[in-house]
Structure formats: C-alpha cells, structure tokens
Structure 1
C-alpha cells in the first residue's frame, strides 16, 4: 500500500464530498480505538471543522482516557477541532428501567449492547443537524463487508465511510504514518459496548489478520474442504458471521408490487 498517497486520496475525497454537499465539516464519535482515531485524523487533515464527541456509557476507564488523550492530540495538531462530551449513561440507565424484563438475559445483554451504539448514533445526528456536519463512519473493510461486526443503525448509521475500503491491518499502517498515539495502536480492538475491556477477538473467536485471511480465501472461492486445523476453525468463524450478518451488508429488501396489481 502506498500509504502517503492513500492518506492524501482519502483526505481529498472527504473534502470534496463535504464541499459538494455544501456541508461545513464532520462529526465523529471518539471511542479510544484505532478506527475512530484514524478516521478523525483524516477528517481533521481536510482543514474543515471537526466536532469530536466523547459519549461514555458505563465505559471502561482505559477507553475513556484513550479517547480524551486522542482528542487533545487532535486539538493540539489541527486548528478546527472541537470537542463535546455527552454522558449517555443516565439516558441508558433510564431506558433500561423503562423496558420490560425478558426470560433470556443473554438476549437482553446483546440487545442493550446494540442500544448503546444506537444512542450514540442518535447523538451524533443531533449535533450534525445543529451544525450542518456530516457523520463520519469508522468501519473498516473486514468489519463492514466481511463479518458485519457492527450495529445496524448504530455505528453503521453514517453519512460517509472514509476507511471502509481498508483492511484492519491497513488501518494500523495508516495510524503509524499519521502519528496516532501509541496507547491506541497498542490497545486490543474492542467495540466498547459492554462496559468492560472484552476485545473483538474475545467476542468473535479470531483476530483481524485471521479474518482478513479468511475473507480473502472466501473471495477466492475456497470451501471448508480446503482447510484443516486452526485454518478450518477460522474459516468456519468467518463464514458463520458473514452468513448471519448478510442483512447488514445487503440492501434493505423492498417488496416490489407487480404492475398488474397497480
């Protein structure tokens, strides 16, 4: 990858898109993770206003500190970066008390995890409408188009996706080129939806380099019969997530009314 040229291409693409859309700049949620750090830096490099939102919901302290440190770094290096902190914990807790209990607590935990992402999306669009900003997405290629590891209408609800054609390993390469804080580069990837430090690999069962390999093998037409051992295990994990999350990656189904019924 020609890192410098890729960075310039994304920055120019972002600036052109915002200018053509007659929007003032960008708003992005800063999680303390690598994807939001890289995306926010690329947005800042356009020279357009960038509003960074820090939106903790019972967040692990390490995630909050990394997010705040990154925002400080952005503000020290770019002129038009501002920051707003919105504590969504009271909103989340209030919502929980308003919802009925369910028999299967595991289903409830998963639903509430996704609710966190959707509360953040709603908050991002509140500020976007106020200040005429575009909501910048932070999804990468293997998450968005491989395993669908994101929340539908949560972190998947955005106006544009600057890094969605980059693999996770390529995002790390760009992060090092941009000078992103080492604590973010070294931190294990996490979606931050559980209020603890569980990692993406803990949830998925495979690392991002492994998932990228499986994505490539799948695109090359490989099947389960082509692998054994850990390779087979990883390929099965990838296929399971890819199949289960097609509803996120495919267009919304539309019921077409036959002409003879109209």
Structure 2
C-alpha cells in the first residue's frame, strides 16, 4: 500500500464529500482505539471543522486515557479540532431501568444499547453543528465478520476507512504518528465492563481474518488452525450478513395493488 498517497486520497475524498454536501465538517466518537484515532486524524487533515466526542459509559480508565491523549494530540496539531466529554453512564442506567424485566441482564443487548446511545449522541451534537458523522469501521469489521452494532457504531454518514484492512489502518497510524499507546493497544469495542478484546471475542486475530477474507485456495491444503479460522470467519459472516446488505423490503406484486 502506498500509505502517504492513501492518506492524502482519503482526506481529499472527505473534504470533497463534505463540500458537496454543504456541511461544515465532521463529528466522530473517540474510543481510545486505532480506528477512531486514524479516522479522526484523516478528518482533521481536511481543515474542516471536527468535533471529537468522548462518551463514557462505564468505560475502562485506560481506554478513556488513550482517547483523551489522542484528542489532546489532535487539538495541538490541528486548529480546526475541538472536543466535548459527554458522560452517558447515568443515561444508560436510566434506559436500562426502563426496559421490561430481564432485558437489562442480557449482556449483548446492553452492550449494543451502549453503542446505540453513543450513535444518538453523535447525531444530536452533529446535526446541531452542521456536521457529518464519520464512521470508524474497517474492511474486516464492516464487510467480513460484521463486528459492529447495527444502528450503533454502524450508524454513520460516511465510512472513510471501510476499504482498508486492519493491518493497513495500523500502517496509516504509524505514518500519521498516532499516539503510541493507541498503536500498541489491543483492539477492543469498549462495550463491556471488563477488558475483553476484539480478537478474544472473535476467536481469531485480525491478520488471520484478513487472510480468511481473501482465501481462494484449496481447503484440503490448510492446516488445522487455518481450517478453524475459515470456519470462524464464515460463521461470523453468515450470522452478521443482515448488517451488510440493504434492509429487506416486501415488494407487493402489481396485481395486488
């Protein structure tokens, strides 16, 4: 990958899109992870307005610290960047308490509710400021294993890095000189009270998933681990396919109208 040229291409694409849409710039949620760090930096490079939101919901301190370190780095480097800290923990707990009995004890449902509350916040602040919500999903997550929340972090206006593998995002982060603690951190979705990682939840590393996503060889030639990774990849892809395709529409035959 021609890293420098890709960086310039994405930043130019972002600026052109925003100008054509008649908006002032972008808003993005900062998680302390590599994807949001890279995406926010690419947005900042456009020279257009960028608001970064740090949205705490029972967040681990190390994730918050990394996110704030990145925001501080961005604001020192780019005059067009500002930020807000929005603590959503009480809001999340209020929503949980309003659900029917038993819902609040469903771990995955509550994790996804966190992501959807953050999406709502991004759109509220973004619309009030004339900004587009920039997505942070990469190619493996968005089109491979579908590792994101539908209408949560998947609810965005545009996706600047969705055609990049995770390894390519890391390469861009290195070129941009992103905060080292973020480059070194294990990727995590930040939706749980513990410190579980993306790769731990999926059961395969990002390099393994990238390989599985592009594999076109003979399955008989694979090692046991490679066969397991292929199985993991296709299991996630099938289960999350509904996130990657348009919403199904029941089209009524003309003779019934």
TM-score normalised according to structure 1 size: 0.96
Match of 2:236 in 1: 241
2:249 maps to 1:254: yes
Say whether the 8 Å CA contact 1:57–1:195 is kept in structure 2: no
Instruction: Output the CA distance in 2 between the equivalents of 1:103 and 1:15.
Output: 42
Q: What's the offset of the Cα at 1:61? A: 0.2
Determine if the alignment matches structure 1 residue 6 to structure 2 residue 6: yes
d(CA) in 2 for partners of 1:26 and 1:103? 34
Equivalent residue number for residue 203 of structure 1: 201
Compute the displacement of 1:79 (Å): 0.6
Separation in structure 1 between the aligned mates of residue 192 and residue 222 of structure 2, nearest angstrom = 33
Distance 1:130 1:223 in 2: 53
CA apart distance, 1:102: 2.4
CA separation of 1:29 and 1:258: change in aligned 2, threshold 3 A: same
Q: 1:24 to 1:166 in 2, by over 3 A?
A: same
Distance 1:230 1:102 in 2: 38
Report the alpha carbon displacement of residue 224 of structure 1 after superposing the two structures with TM: 5.0
SS in 2 for 1:255: coil
- Residues 156-207 of structure 1, C-alpha deviation per residue, up to 9 Å, x if partnerless? 0000000000000000000000010110000000000002211001100001
What's 1:231 paired with?
226
Q: Distance in 1 between matches of 2:143 and 2:20?
A: 27
Give the match for residue 213 of structure 2.
215
**Distance between the aligned counterparts of 2:71 and 2:218, measured in 1?**
44
Q: 2:62 corresponds to which residue?
A: 62
SS state at 2:66 partner: helix
User: Superposition RMSD on alpha carbons, in Å?
Assistant: 1.3
Which residue is equivalent to 2:134? Answer: 136
Q: Determine the structure 2 residue equivalent to 1:35.
A: 35
Does 1:179 find its partner at 2:174?
no
2:166 to 162, 165, 168: 168
Could you list the per-position Cα deviations for residues 214-234 of structure 1 after superposition, in whole angstroms to 9, with x for gaps in the alignment?
0011xx3x5754533110111
Query: Which of structure 1's runs of 4+ aligned residues deviate more than 6 A?
Result: none
SS in structure 1 opposite 2:102? coil
Kindly indicate whether the alpha-carbon contact (under 8 Å) linking 2:37 and 2:70 is maintained by their aligned counterparts in 1: yes
Distance 2:249 2:220 in 1: 36
Normalised by the size of structure 2, how large is the TM-score? 0.97
Structure 1 counterpart of 2:96? 96
Question: Aligned residue for 1:145?
Answer: 143
In structure 2, distance between residues paired with 1:224 and 1:192: 35
Instruction: Give the count of matched residue pairs.
Output: 257
Residue pair 2:96, 2:104 contacting (<8 A) in 1 also: no
Q: Is the partner of 1:55 in helix, strand or coil?
A: strand
User: 1: CA distance between counterparts of 2:127 and 2:115?
Assistant: 19
Deviations 1:85-104 (A, max 9, x none): 10000001111111223289
Deviation at 1:131, TM superposition (A): 0.5
Partner of 2:155: 157
